[in-house]
Amino acid sequence: MKKILINILTFAIVVAVIVVLFLSLGSEEGARYVFKGNTEHKAVDIKPKEYQCSECNMDIEKLTYMAELITKEGDTYFFDDIGCLVLWLKNHTPDTHSMLTQTLDTHRWIDVKKAWYSRTAPTPMGYGFAAFEKKKEGFIPYEEMKLLMLQGKNLHDPFIKKKLLQKQ
Amino acid sequence: MNEILLSNEVIVYLLAETVLYLLLFIAFLVTLGLLKRWNFDAFTSEQFQLENRSYLVMTIILFVMLLKILLLPYFVYTIDRLSDLVPGAMCAAGVIKANAYGNPLLSLKIVILFLSGLWLSINRLDLGAKNYPYMKLKSWFFIVVFLFLSAEFILDILYFTHIETTNPVSCCSVIFGQTGGANGLPLGLDIPKLLILFYLLFALVVLTLLSDLLLLSLPATLFFAVIAYYAVVYFFGTYIYELPTHQCPFCMLQDHYYYVGYLLWGLLLFGVFFAIDAAVMQKIFKQPAETLKRNALLLLSLFVLLCSAYVAGYYFKNGVLL
């Protein structure tokens, strides 16, 4: 009788452990936002869906549009869209060492302030700003892109969208 | 030669490791000869010599493995002391991450601790019988362990010769701390679920050991070891340090915390080892493992009690939880 009770209890605990694990795996806590210990302050190459955007919480799937913010302590924050980085900086004041973005033309990591931005790219969040290393007609610098982003003058605004897409 | 290699602790540690490795190397060569010519059924003078030699070799291995078990806490003590020399390091956490060899070395040492323990158990069985039934098995097992020990020795040298005293390393609050929504826990766990798992798995280990469900006990114990590590670093440790942001497995090894880390990690490691040993002895070698099970239960219960006592003590003293 005692043995049966112990076996039932063991079975119940195994089930409870499995339930807790399933609950955990399905929860938001599995989110990964920050890569720590990047003391070399170099861009961190990640795999798709390995990290989430610190602003919009979406999995970073398209690595071609992503940006990274590296703090002096070596914490690296990831953003799926340069627009997300701008919005995030509105509410956060990290001890920034560098901000890097992937470029669509040269596929390199460069300083966000040295990049030129197109306004009509199919970026993950649909803001339209995509970074390029080489300047072309219609491209804007970082500060202008930042201003437009903060003013909401991006592809989310139907008027702006119509105006920009008509030009093409 | 850098400052690290001139530190007293490192000199003692590396010298001890070298001497022990030389002894093991001799034992390894003799064991190869034993394996080649061993035939217990033969009544030749060569076999008689081999039996004598095997007794000597096994005694050497026994001695070395016991010392290697003692050297693990000394290794941790050594790297903890090196935190004075490595800029940025406040405890062993920074020193162990000073180069790429540190973490693999520490993990390898823990694996070797378990393997050495298993070898000691098989050796005890073999010496207890009259006809050396496990002579070949334990010799082959020693050869496997020796390969691990060789890798460990190489890593030891590489690790201590590659610690820079000019490059700053991260302190434990950077390595284990949380910022910007980072969650260091595995499997998407949060602290409440981690604690539920911790106590559930402990109950599972106790029940499986008591009811002889040793095949279930083995994975349960290994899983408990992993969850217990995270529970100590991310929850119980904060009560040892009495600081909610201080999450580190190494600082508790320092004198400010009365060296309680040695006791805590020792109880966990040896408790887990005895549980695994009990499963192996009973299921593979068909030997009674009551003492091993009792030891595992005692050590793991003490570990859980000690962890819980820190939380209870803090709540009793301050009336709040962290």
User: Can you give the residue ranges of every domain in chain A?
Assistant: 1-30, 34-167
Contact A74 B203 (CB under 8 A): no
pLDDT digits (tens, 9 = 90+) for A42-99: 898 888 878 888 888 778 888 899 999 998 888 899 999 999 999 999 888 888 899 9
Residues B193, A23: C-beta atoms closer than 8 Å:
yes
Which of B185, B197, B213 faces A10 most closely, judged by CB atoms? B213
CA–CA distances in Å: residue B89 to residues A73, B15, B85, B211, B257 = 14, 25, 8, 46, 18
Residue A17 has, within 13 A of its CA and on its CB side, a CA count of: 20
What's the mean pLDDT when you consider all of chain A?
Answer: 86
Domain definitions of chain B by residue range: 2-161, 172-318
- Which of A6, A20, A94 has its CB closest to that of B193? A20
Q: What number of residues does chain B have?
A: 322
pLDDT at B181 over 50: no
Residues of A with Cβ-Cβ distance to B97 under 8 angstroms: 37
Interchain contact, A54 vs B181, CB within 8 Å: yes
* Tens-digit pLDDT profile for residues B31-40: 888 888 777 7
What span, in angstroms and rounded, lies between the C-alpha atoms of B77 and B117?
A: 21
Contacts of residue B208 in chain A, CB cutoff 8 Å? Answer: 10
Closest chain A residue to the Cα of B187, Cα to Cα: A25
Which pair of tokens denotes residue A98?
A: 């560098």
Q: Do A75 and B179 touch (CB under 8 A)?
A: yes
Q: Rounded mean pLDDT of chain B? A: 87
Q: What is the pLDDT of residue B180?
A: 40
Q: Which two tokens stand for residue B282?
A: 């009973």
Residue in chain A lying closest to B169 (CA):
A39
Q: SS3 breakdown of chain B: % helix, strand, coil, rounded to 5?
A: 75, 0, 25
Nearest to A33 among B180, B196, B197 (CB): B180
This complex has an ipTM of: 0.72
Q: What is the mean pLDDT of residues B126-132?
A: 81
pLDDT at A137: 87
